[in-house]
Structure 1
Amino acid sequence: MENDQHKPVEFHNLLNPAMSRRQIIKTGGTVSAAGFLAGTSALSQAVSQATTLMSFPAVPTSTADTVVLPEGYEYDVLVSWGDPILKGASKFDVENSAEDQLGQYGDNTDGMSLFHLTDKDGGVDEDRAILAANSEYINKKFMHTHGGENLTADDVRKEIAAHGVNVFEVKRNWFNKWKVVKNSDLNRRLHGNADEFVLTGPVAGHPLVQTDMDRTGTKVIGTLNNCGNGQTPWGTYLTCEENFNGYFGAPAGTAFSDEQKAYGLSETGFDYNWWPTEERFNLAKHPNEANRFGWIVEIDPYNPSSKAMKRTAMGRFKHENAALTLSKDGHAVAYMGDDERGEFIYKFISRDTYREGDRAHNMTLLENGTLYAAKFNDNGSGEWVELTYGKNGLTQANGFDSQEYILVYARLAARFVGATTMDRPEWVACHPSSPMVFCTLTNNKYRGVRDNQPLNAANPREENPFGHIIRWVPENRDHKASRFGWDLFAMAGNPETQSGAMAGSDNVSADNMFNSPDGLMFDNDGRLWIQTDGNYSNEGIFAGQGNNQMLVADPVSGHIRRFMVGPNGCEITGITFSNDQRTVFVGIQHPSNAWPNAEKDGVPRSSVIAIRREDGGIVGA
């Protein structure tokens, strides 16, 4: 029998009660990029207005090998690569084996979500929760004492084990400090060699996902390159498989199909070189194995014995994250970015509707639905183009022989229907009380350089080294709508070294400049948190921007303020809040020098930190 304290907290309980007293945002700009850069949009005109969303003092840029926070804030390291998660797991040691890594927190932490447990009265337990957090990839030079050269079979298994998803209980003490509950029955590792994954939806069982090892085409071993994430209203975790292609390889001379090339599959991949010892990664022998990756994966964090579901109806591509919301009539709507230069933004609408309190039903919503790709018109309008067999030219005569083929090769379908190529669409975030949606476009050295990625209003800068953030509002304020209006919320840049468009939009100044926006999330009060994964050389066009950082924006006024700067070499990625917003959990990925304690550990270690105000107040307010 399920323990009452392990039941999921329903969506409506997670909303800040103050939201009902806030004025709902009723308008969304729909102006051209040219008008935005010229400073004529409603957004740029409002930038100078004061914001009531944040009062913390902005922090300066930094090149120090430490975490920099505003005055009045502090942090703890919650968990780091190699820390024991499962019962009986070994403590961290660089020389740990693959067997050790199976019970330890994975490497290069990324997207994450917090799921509060229920108290004895059935309400939200503010001090006990489950954290589900991704481990995207590994750093060979730190993972092995030999630096990653001449890998043994155990080395390969250790690398695979360090990928995937970490699910574990956390508890807060009287001092507002969170700790990992190491012996909790809820803790689990869903790693790259785990046998707990099932393909669901239209593609399940199709010949394109059948292999010699799985003739059913439904049972998948592992999940890889888990980047961003999503959290559903019914209390499940969505982990997103991104650069899966990099793990596969093949002997020299192996031929690749156009479909495989469209997804970046090659002989060498990212030089992980797993395929000689782990045969399923050998594309010459098992070409369909790669088709079993690149999906949104739904995990029930409250049930450690449950299977993880790869939701094929949501399309296969290099998923960055999944921002899930509900339409006016209760359909689940997920916005998703395909993180590669010149790829697309997608939307999924479930076939069935959400039922409050019916978790069993709601956990089937992502099994069936309709996939769309976005077209951004230069006049500030946009449309979602349906990717369904028999519609918009997606027919056998044009090379699309079934709906299953379209979903497995969603990139080909989106390109065929004329969706807009974007500058690396990464995280998407939905405002908690308005239909506004935001997406980070990290950068694109090919924009305006390659013929298939021409300049357009949504991606207006040639080569775009700094990136930008786009936003849209659906027609009739309904996420189910097929049309939307859009504008550019911010063009990152450097007003100290650049002029014109490269200096950035009106809401970017010397005090808040940044490059390569990546992670993106709204808190319950409507603050937009922006994380960066960019050039931290502090030289050339990036001079003065320092290490990667996290900023906070007012989505209405456009005001942006720097909240945090990370240690040397890191990406700031992954963010989730406690229900009372007195703690924010943030990921520090691939630190390169000594953080957090390389003197003791021998190497820097990717970690999750817990940030709080010293006075116990709401973070960011």
Structure 2
Amino acid sequence: MPQTAPHRRLLPLLGQVGGGRSRTTCRFRCGDACFHEAPNTSDNAYFGDIAAAALSRRNVLRAGAVGAGATAAVGLAGFGPALASPGPRNPRLKFDGIEVGTSDRVEIPRGYEQRVVVRWGDPVVPGAPKFDINRQTAEAQEKQFGYNCDYVAFQPLGRDRGLLWVNHEYTNENLMFRGYTDGAEADLEHIRIAMAAHGGSVVEIRRVGRTGGWRLADGGRHFNRRITATTPMKLTGPAAGSELLRTEADPEGTRVLGMLNNCAGGMTPWGTILTCEENFNQYFVGGEGAPEEKKAALRRYGIATSGDTRAGNRRFDRVDERFDLSRHPNEANRFGYVVEIDPFDPDSTPRKRTMLGRFKHEGATTRLTRDGRVAVYMGDDERFDYIYKFVSAGRYRKGSRRANSSLLDTGTLYVARLSGDSPAEELDGSGALPADGAFDGRGEWVALCTDKKSFVEGFTVAEVLVHTRLAADAAGATKMDRPEDIEASPATGKVYCALTNNSAREPGQADEPNPRGPNRFGHILELSEQGNDAGATRFRWDVPIVCGDPEDPSTYFAGYDKSKVVAISSPDNLTFDEQGNLWISTDGQPGTIGVNDALFAVPVEGRYKGELKAFASVPVGAECCGPFITEDQKTVFIAPQHPGEDGTFDEPQSTWPDGDFPRPSVVSIWNSKGHDIGR
């Protein structure tokens, strides 16, 4: 039935952790990050125009530098008026919002249809066998669609064909293999299968009739490709070849095998995919045996350096010793990057772009500056970590792939510093609006380095790019509540960031850009860059949505009547339709508001700004990944990840999508009358 407002107070489920994920998700996706102290132990806040403190490189790397300002900080005076919106005002979303519940299926609005496009195990490359869950092999999985699908991108090949890129973030071995307990006891072939199920897939798809539905294309699969944890890749940019990236297997420091825990991503104007390594830290063991001088940097990235570092781990080191840091301490430095992949060339070598920094990347959204350079917006998905931007030195040349192929290797890497305009006594962590009626303020992009020069005292360029978190600590960046996906509105150019949640923020740690402590439900941040220019170093910001149950006084929906909106928690991935409406997928609703994760849509301009509706919900235990709206506005792809996460092989909690065992999949949704999505 359509829902325009909540009918009951939604309560958190017992037994959930952190921001609402299941205990199993915490184990397999992020290595129980919420059960450990947040890696950012700096005392950063916004201090205005502070002078740089002298910190030696040795002290930074050994002690985890705190409180120092970057020498390239830009002042905020004279920013000027807030941006006007040059694009169309968002017309009202016309679909009937659904009531999000707890069913084991994908629920969609009246008048819409859906189709599963591709599932875990579906054949991808020629020679791939038909999937048989009881007869899995690593050789087969390397040719089949991988496990948990996250970021989805679509590149058209004419009207009725296209290439679908899908990240395979992580594996849940409890659901994949009968009798699985942990990596220490696992069959070695199961570990190899899991490694093969990571990475990503390129699959050619075809439109179903004249609808907005899609299916796998038949035929030669010319473009199809699997990327795994062992695919050869090239390290590029200023840090490539540095001693921080050299290993026994790669003494030049320019080659690495595979990518890990790829969560969100983006697309470049020249048609390549940017896929982002996130919780890579959990795959490594042996941190207690790493050299002492490397341990502070390892800890800053969430890698244990004491105790039993092997307990509960997947134990990839049992089949490949490079995952043991006591033997290969630099191997972890070769993960945590944005990886550029050409979906049109299955023989191309993926490139890890070191110039975009190393952290737990959540997304890499591109936007052109006014003078034609490329800006890339990135979040670091960790409690109390930061928002980043890269701006290329060179300009984008339309139609010239060769000229654009190195744009992401030279330029400037920035981190965000935000300042509120309300008195501290009005920010008590409750989420109550300050006296001026808005959470808002000013911000600056603080330069960390160019490809030739470091602006952080005591850091070389290579150290900034490999130990980016430490450099941002030293630059006095603003601690945020798990910055995830960042997207720009095609209608206004404003930039939006999903702050998923932060249950570790104490009331006294609340500030204007992060106004609740603890923040279990998350919020949305809006940036208006000076002159609407992606190359600007100054911006205004505000918080248009503070998530949660609308009956909770701490929530806010851009001033819209809260009796006419639905509950939302843990915003994760974002996208826009061509009208500039913001679409938000969630990760954590079962444990915070007691219903399945879902896809929501909300106008962020105009008369109906803040009117949040639920468009689709995903099955039991699943996270709503994607989303991606095609250029013709006829299809939205979502990727229900980890359905039935808390079950086991023998006792599944979900049977979606085929009624037997859970299979992470990609779904296409379209209007049955051919209308644009949401219209």
Tell me the TM-score range normalised by the shorter chain.
Answer: 0.7 to 0.9
Shift of 1:511: 3.8
Offset of 1:417 from its aligned partner? 1.0
What is the correspondence of 1:523-562 to structure 2 with a 5 Å cutoff?
523-537=577-591, 542-543=593-594, 546-556=595-605, 557-562=609-614
Contact 1:126 1:580 in 2 (8 A): no
Instruction: Give the direction of change, closer, same or farther, for the CA distance of 1:198–1:112 in structure 2 (3 Å limit).
Output: same
Aligned partners of 1:253, 1:535: CA distance in 2, in Å?
A: 39
- Aligned CA distance change for structure 1 residues 298 and 290 (closer, same or farther; 3 Å): same
Which residue number corresponds to residue 157 of structure 1? Answer: 192
How far the C-alpha of 1:595 sits from its partner, in A, is 3.8
- Corresponding position of 2:115: 76
Where does residue 13 of structure 1 map in the other structure? none
Match of residue 244, structure 2, among 195, 208, 214: 208
Matches within 5 A, 1:194-343: 194-195=231-232, 197-250=233-286, 257-266=295-304, 267-268=309-310, 271-343=313-385
SS in structure 1 of the partner of residue 161 of structure 2: strand
Distance 1:251 1:327, change over 3 A: closer
Which residue identity does 1:550 align to in structure 2? L
Q: Per the alignment, in what secondary structure is the counterpart of residue 377 of structure 1?
A: strand
Paired residues of 2:568 and 2:589 also in contact (CA < 8 A): no
**1:109 maps onto 2:163 in alignment:** no
Is the 8 Å Cα contact of residues 565 and 612 (structure 2) preserved in structure 1? no
- Could you state the TM-score of these two structures normalised by the residue count of structure 2? 0.78
Question: Larger deviation: 250-259 or 311-320?
Answer: 250-259
Taking CA–CA contacts closer than 8 Å with sequence separation of 6 or more, which of the two structures ends up with the larger relative contact order?
A: 2
**Cα distance in 2 between the residues matched to 1:151 and 1:502:** 45
AA paired with 2:581? Answer: R
- Give 1:598 shift: 5.6
Deviation at residue 566 of structure 1 after TM alignment: 1.1
Q: Which residue of 2 aligns with 1:575?
A: 627
Which of 568, 572, 589 pairs up with 1:518?
A: 572
1:20-74 CA-to-partner distances (Å, cap 9, x unmatched) read xxxxxxxxxxxxxxxxxxxxxxx9xxxxxx9624211111121111111110001
Q: Residue type matched to 1:617 in 2?
A: H
Q: Which letter does structure 1 place at the counterpart of 2:209?
A: W
State the distance in 1 between where 2:563 and 2:625 align.
23
Equivalenced residue count is 551
Q: Is residue 179 from structure 1 mapped to residue 215 from structure 2 by the alignment? A: yes
The residue that corresponds to 2:469 in the other structure is 411
What residue identity is the alignment partner of 2:664?
S
Which residue, 126, 142, 146 being the options, matches 1:87? 126
- Letter matched to residue 267 of structure 2: Q
1:620 aligned to 2:678? yes
Secondary structure class of the residue paired with 2:376:
strand
Shift of 1:251: 7.5
Unaligned runs of 5+ in 1: 1-42, 44-49, 118-124
State the match for 1:467 in structure 2.
522
- Choose from 502, 506, 512 the match for 1:457: 512
1:596 match:
656
Cα shift at 1:576: 1.8
What does residue 20 of structure 1 align with? none
- Name the SS of the counterpart of 1:215 in structure 2: coil
Matches within 5 A, 1:475-490: 475-490=530-545
Between the aligned partners of 1:269 and 1:384, the Cα distance in structure 2 is 40
1:30-41 paired onto structure 2 within 5 Å: none
CA contact (8 A) 1:246 1:269 kept: no
**Shift in Å at residue 92 of structure 1?**
1.8
Q: Aligned to 1:56, which of 91, 95, 107?
A: 95
Query: Alpha-carbon deviation of 1:175?
Result: 4.1
Counterpart Cα distance in 2 of 1:216 and 1:278: 20
Between 1:353-362 and 1:382-391, the stretch displaced more is 382-391
Provide, for residues 404-450 of structure 1, a one-character-per-residue CA deviation record: whole Å limited to 9, x for no partner: 0011011111111111000000000011132200000000012126x
Q: Compared with structure 1, are the counterparts of its residues 338 and 509 closer, same or farther at alpha carbon in structure 2 (3 Å cutoff)?
A: farther
Deviations, residues 189-230 of structure 1 (Å, cap 9, x unaligned) = 0111112x1001001111101100011111110011010010
SS in 2 for 1:388: strand
Pair 1:566 & 2:618 matched: yes
SS at structure 1 position matched to 2:375: strand
Change (3 A) 1:138 1:509: farther
Residue 253 of structure 1: how far off its partner (Å): 5.7
Counterpart selection for 2:399 from 337, 342, 357:
357
Report deviation, 1:558. Answer: 2.6
Deviation of 1:594 after TM superposition, in Å, equals 2.4
Q: 1:325 to 1:393 in 2, by over 3 A?
A: closer
Give SS of 1:205's match: coil
**Distance change (3 Å), C-alpha of 1:618 and 1:487:** same
> For structure 1, which segment, 588-597 or 414-423, has the greater mean C-alpha deviation from structure 2 after superposition?
588-597
Aligned residue in 2 for 1:17: none
Aligned-residue offset at 1:502 = 5.1
8 Å Cα contact 2:633-2:676 kept in structure 1: yes
The amino acid across from 1:514 in the alignment is: I
Task: Please give the secondary structure, in 2, of the residue aligned with 1:198.
Answer: strand
Matched position secondary structure for 1:413? helix
Deviations 1:452-472 (A, max 9, x none): xx2110001011000000001
Could you tell me which residue of structure 1 aligns to residue 56 of structure 2?
A: none
Distance 1:235 1:264, change over 3 A: same
Q: Which moved further from structure 2: 528-537 or 327-336?
A: 528-537
Equivalent in the alignment of 1:6: none
Give the 3 Å change call, closer, same or farther, for CA 126–175 of structure 1 in structure 2: closer
Shift of residue 146, structure 1, vs aligned partner: 2.2
Q: Does the aligned pair in 2 maintain the 1:248–1:269 contact within 8 Å?
A: no
Corresponding residue SS for 2:478: coil
Does the residue aligned with 2:391 lie in a helix, a strand or coil? Answer: strand
For 2:550 and 2:356, locate their aligned partners in 1 and report how far apart those are by CA, in whole Å.
40
**Is the contact between residue 286 and residue 310 of structure 2 (CA under 8 Å) also seen in structure 1?**
yes
| Distance in 2 between residues matched to 1:340 and 1:362, nearest whole Å | 31
1:229-287 residue CA offsets vs partner (Å, 9 max, x unmatched): 10111111000000010111128665661001000112238621211331010011111
- Cα distance in 2 between the residues matched to 1:510 and 1:53: 13
**Letter of the aligned partner of 2:656 in structure 1?**
P
Identity of aligned residues (%): 41
Distance 1:532 1:126 in 2: 30
Give the TM-score normalised by the residue count of structure 1: 0.85
Separation in 2 of the partners of 1:565 and 1:223?
Answer: 29
Q: Matched residues in 1 for 2:140 and 2:355: separation?
A: 36
What do the CA deviations read for 1:462-503 (whole angstroms, capped 9, x no partner)? 11000000001111111111100000020001134x3x3157
- Whole-Å separation in 2 of the counterparts to 1:431 and 1:495: 25
Q: What residue number does 1:492 align with?
A: 547
1:501 to 529, 549, 554: 554
The residue type paired with residue 257 of structure 1 is: K
SS of alignment partner, residue 501 of structure 1: coil
User: Which residue identity lines up with residue 488 of structure 1 in the other structure?
Assistant: V
Structure 1 counterpart of 2:399, which letter? Answer: G
Deviations 1:546-577 (A, max 9, x none): 11111011121232211111111110011223
SS in 1 for 2:316: coil
The match for 1:127 is: 160
